[in-house]
């Protein structure tokens, strides 16, 4: 089996940075190959996660390395409003022990890619306390175990095998609004207890957990979440990152979140947090990346 990008599953590093780039006009596949080889020479590519838009990956890779369903993220319209999309060509997720090491890696990456890709989004993130969102709730409680994560996230066979689809969104919170509520009220928005993340027995239909836990005939839809908070005192939120072997799982969950479903119920979290960006990337296997770089 092809080897996935291992940094998707690396945990324990508290500093994160998400860089998104657009292709420069006239950039060629050969110039992109040389720029990515520079990232490898710096050691950045091996220690990070690299994702490509469908359009860019098709330009670079042979057909057997392009998975089915590799399409841009589409806007979703529902009772909760309209979900924005902001497609870009390349995404690089850096993670390290501290922000000082991340900023050095980010500057090197931007310099290496500058001839072919221009930086358009730069979102530093961090692990908050014991893995909580800035709302104070534990993030990722529905995640599979690390041992089961590859089965959820990685395409097992066929075109794109060893790769994964990544959903990347920056959400901005209205924490003043959220924290103005009592803890029991907050818990009914999320659907879990705040202290220890136990699911509520009387789950409201519009609670975040109720909308995001999706049961099908084949079992519960699972994704591998790797989100982290971002921001400063006055402006902050969640950098949402999730991986899946099937991008339709993201669409199903987002439609339920926005109430683009027959029941027209939307996720109550939309009253307190809104996405500012949104893109779908393909994260090819290490084998596919290496084959491309070597030509």
Task: Say which residues have a Cβ less than 8 Å from residue 283's Cβ, sequence separation at least 6.
Answer: 4, 5, 8, 49, 50, 51, 52, 163, 164, 165, 166, 243
Angle between helices 29-42 and 99-113 (to 10 degrees): 150
Asked if 79 and 266 touch (Cβ cutoff 8 Å), the reply is yes
- Which sign, positive or negative, has the C-alpha torsion 134, 241, 247, 245? negative
Q: How many helices (H) and strands (E) does the chain have?
A: 9, 14
So which residues are the catalytic ones? 139
Of the candidates 228, 16, 275, the residue with the CA atom closest to the CA atom of residue 134:
228
CA dist 59 and 42 (Å) reads: 24
């Amino acid at each position: 089996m092809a080897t996935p990008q291992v940094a998707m599953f690396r945990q324990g590093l508290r500093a994160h940075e998400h860089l998104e780039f657009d292709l420069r006009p006239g950039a060629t596949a050969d110039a992109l190959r040389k720029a990515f080889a520079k990232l490898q020479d710096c050691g950045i590519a091996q220690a990070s996660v690299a994702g490509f838009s469908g359009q860019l990956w098709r330009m670079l890779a042979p057909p057997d390395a392009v998975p089915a369903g590799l399409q841009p993220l589409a806007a979703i319209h529902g009772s909760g409003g309209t979900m924005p999309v902001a497609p870009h060509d390349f995404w690089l997720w850096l993670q390290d022990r501290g922000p000082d090491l991340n900023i050095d890696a980010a500057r090197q990456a931007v310099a290496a890619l500058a001839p072919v890709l221009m930086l358009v989004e730069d979102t530093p993130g961090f692990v908050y306390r014991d893995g909580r969102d800035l709302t104070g709730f534990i993030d990722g409680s529905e995640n599979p175990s690390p041992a089961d994560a590859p089965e959820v996230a990685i395409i097992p066979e066929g075109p794109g095998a060893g790769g994964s689809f990544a959903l990347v969104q920056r959400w901005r919170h209205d924490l003043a609004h959220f924290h103005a509520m009592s803890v029991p009220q907050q818990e009914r928005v999320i659907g879990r207890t705040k202290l220890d993340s136990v699911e509520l027995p009387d789950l409201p239909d519009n609670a975040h957990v109720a909308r995001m836990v999706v049961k099908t005939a084949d079992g519960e839809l699972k994704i591998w979440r790797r989100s982290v908070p971002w921001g400063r005192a006055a402006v902050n939120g969640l950098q949402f990152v999730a991986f899946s072997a099937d991008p339709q799982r993201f669409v199903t969950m987002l439609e339920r979140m926005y109430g683009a479903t027959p029941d027209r119920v939307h996720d109550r979290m939309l009253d307190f947090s809104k996405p500012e960006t949104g893109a779908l990337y393909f994260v090819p296997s290490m084998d596919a990346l290496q084959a491309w770089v070597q030509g």
